Amino acid sequence: MEYEVVIGLETHAELSTVTKLFCGCSTQFGVEPNTQVCPVCLGMPGILPVMNRKAFEYALKLAVALSCEINRFTNFDRKSYYYPDLPKNYQISQNYYNLGVNGYMNIEVNGNVKKIRIHNVHLEEEAGKLIHPEEIGADYSLVDFNRAGVPLLEIVSHPDMRNVDEVESYMQTLRKILLYTEVSDCKMQEGSLRFEASISLREKGSDKLGNRVEIKNLNSMKSVIKAIEYETVRQGRLLDKGATIARETRLWDEVAERSEHMRSKEDAQDYRYFPEPDLLPVLIDEKWLHAIKDTIPELPLDRKQRFMEIFKLSDYDAGILIEEKALADFFEACVKILDRPKALSNWIINDLLREVKDRKLDIYNLPIKPQQLAALVEIIEKGTISSTIAKEVFSEMIQAGKAPQAIIEEKKLAQISDENLIELVINKVIANNPNVIEDYKKGKKNALAFLVGQAMKETKGKANPKVLNELLQKKVNT
């Protein structure tokens, strides 16, 4: 039988606030265990949470960016479950009045735009981390509460995706929006962006949803894709045999590349949600919402469209430029200085990105300024240096962080267009290669190219090729 895969994603993104959601502890990653903790995030007796306004605004910003309806009255709820990494044994989350509901996000797959509906966006606190000792036979585990209380945004999609390409695009687009809105640094290796997938299969053409299986422990986007592919095959085989799919939660094993049963629907925890009495409801007025809306930048797909329309860039080029907000910002800053979008885009895509890759540069902290790249392109267009020399200059700009003019002067790389100087060189080359001239006169046309090469070598590549060619032609033909 032919099946259709139905996929929904739950995304957790740690917000990039300086302090935690309900206390003043730092959110810095990778420090000594249990050094960024206080009575609030340790769940000590008698201690109360106080909401971090910045975190709330970040959450609101993302909800708006995902075109959600904003609940003007929202509050927090307690989600209860016992786990040693959860200090209060309840997580302060949102359940009854989520911050944002009924949103959507446009994704692009093979040039087509698809709308993926967002069920809700809500704010909650992160848990701590269990550390299991490596020693064999250890009868204890340790827990680090440094992450406990870090603000966490949960974004729940509708099951609107039908294949892994859409899932891939959804994850990438969402990541870009999180980065564009600057609410999360999305460092997957630090766990600040995580996904959980729910997958079901149904007969092609049917509009009834099949039994859903949730997959946890997906540590990278690659794992998400692999897990969905695995699960599609697994469920398909079961259905082919006439079996029913059990509603369950499965754990992805990254090493074995397979999922394993974790718990079934019947064992699902009862979280006993109820409104958090220690925090007041948050009322969002028009003024606040407007202020938040004003901080939302142009989103990646809109920017791509604009780049294609205004700057006449290709779909491919615009796509690469908007991949990282910093890169797109860099490009636009360059264009503002020098109106040569195509040339600038080529330099960024071909040369800058190669340097970024080779030298492992931080795209958010490039050693080159937009003015410098614009200056370089301008210099090339004026004919001060050839494009070959320009590559050399560019490399030097990246390494030394200097302006192109300075490098050209310092290394005396400026193109020689002075006819007298070039004539001197040509004379020398002709004198040194009498037999080549002979060959040329006998009809061997490419002998000329050899002479051009020799002249270039003589000028260390700085001779203006156009002038050099013209003069040489004139010389050998008289």
Partner 1 sequence: MKLLESNSLQIKKKIVSRELHSTDIVRHLFERIKNLEPDIQAYITTTEEEALKKAIEIDKKIENNQQVGLLAGIPIAIKDNICTKNISTTCASKILKDFMPPYDAFVTKRLKEEDAIIIGKTNLDEFAMGSSTENSRYKITRNPWNVEYVPGGSSGGSAAAVAADMAFMALGSDTGGSVRQPAALCGIVGVKPTYGRVSRYGLVAFGSSLDQIGTLTKNVKDAAVLLQVIAGYDPRDSTSLQVPVPDYLDNINSGVNGLRIGIPNEYFTEGLHSDVNKAIKDALKIYEKLGANIVYLSLPHTEYAVAVYYIVANAEASSNLARYDGVRYGHRTNNARGIIDMYSRTRSEGFGSEVKRRIMLGNYALSSGYYDAYYLKASKVRTLIKNDFDNAFEKIDCIICPTSPVPGFKVGERANNPLQMYLSDIYTIPANLAGIPGISIPCGFSSDGLPIGMQILGKHFEEKRLLQIAYAFEQETDFHLKKPALRVPLRQR
Interacting residues toward partner 1 by CB under 8 A? 39, 42-51, 78, 80, 82, 84, 87-90, 143, 270-274, 277-280
- How many degrees, rounded to 5, is the angle at CA 133 between CA 127 and CA 137? 130
CB of 99 to partner 1, least distance (A): 17
**What is the Cα–Cα distance from 59 to 385, expressed in whole angstroms?**
50
Is 111 in a helix, a strand, or coil? Answer: coil
Smaller CB separation from partner 1, 47 or 406: 47
Q: How far is the CB of 25 from partner 1 (least distance, A)?
A: 14
Shortest Å distance, C-beta 259 to partner 1: 24
User: In angstroms, what is the minimal distance from the CB of 86 to partner 1?
Assistant: 9
Residue whose CB is less far from partner 1, 83 or 364 = 83
CA distance 316 to 24: 44
In the complex, the smallest distance separating the C-beta of residue 45 from partner 1, rounded to whole angstroms, is 4
CB of 47 to partner 1, least distance (A): 7
Tell the smallest beta-carbon distance from residue 191 to partner 1 (Å): 21
CB half-sphere exposure, 461, CA atoms < 13 A? 13
Rounded CA-CA distance 408/159 in Å is 57
| Comparison of 39 and 453: residue with beta carbon closer to partner 1 | 39
Question: Contact, 470 vs 423, CB < 8 A?
Answer: no
**Radius of gyration of the chain measured on its C-alpha atoms:** 31
CA distances from 397 to 209, 334, 357, 367, 368 (A): 57, 15, 16, 8, 7
Measured from the CB atom, the residue of 49 and 210 that comes closer to partner 1 is 49
Nearer to partner 1 by Cβ, of 145 and 230: the residue is 145
Residue 237 or 272: the one with the smaller Cβ distance to partner 1 is 272
Q: How far is the CB of 39 from partner 1 (least distance, A)?
A: 6
Q: Which is nearer to partner 1, 43 or 236 (CB)?
A: 43
Element (H, E) at 465: helix 465-476
Who contacts 258 (Cβ-Cβ below 8 Å, separation ≥6)? 230, 252
SS3 220: coil
C-beta of 273 vs 450, nearer to partner 1? 273
CB of 102 to partner 1, least distance (A): 23
Closer to partner 1 by Cβ: residue 151 or 210: 151
CA–CA gap between residue 449 and residue 454 (Å, rounded) = 9
Q: Is 325 helix (H, G, I), strand (E, B) or coil?
A: helix
CA nearest neighbour of 171 among 190, 195, 192:
195
How remote is the C-alpha of 446 from its chain's centroid?
49
Q: How far apart are CA 89 and CA 42, in angstroms?
A: 11
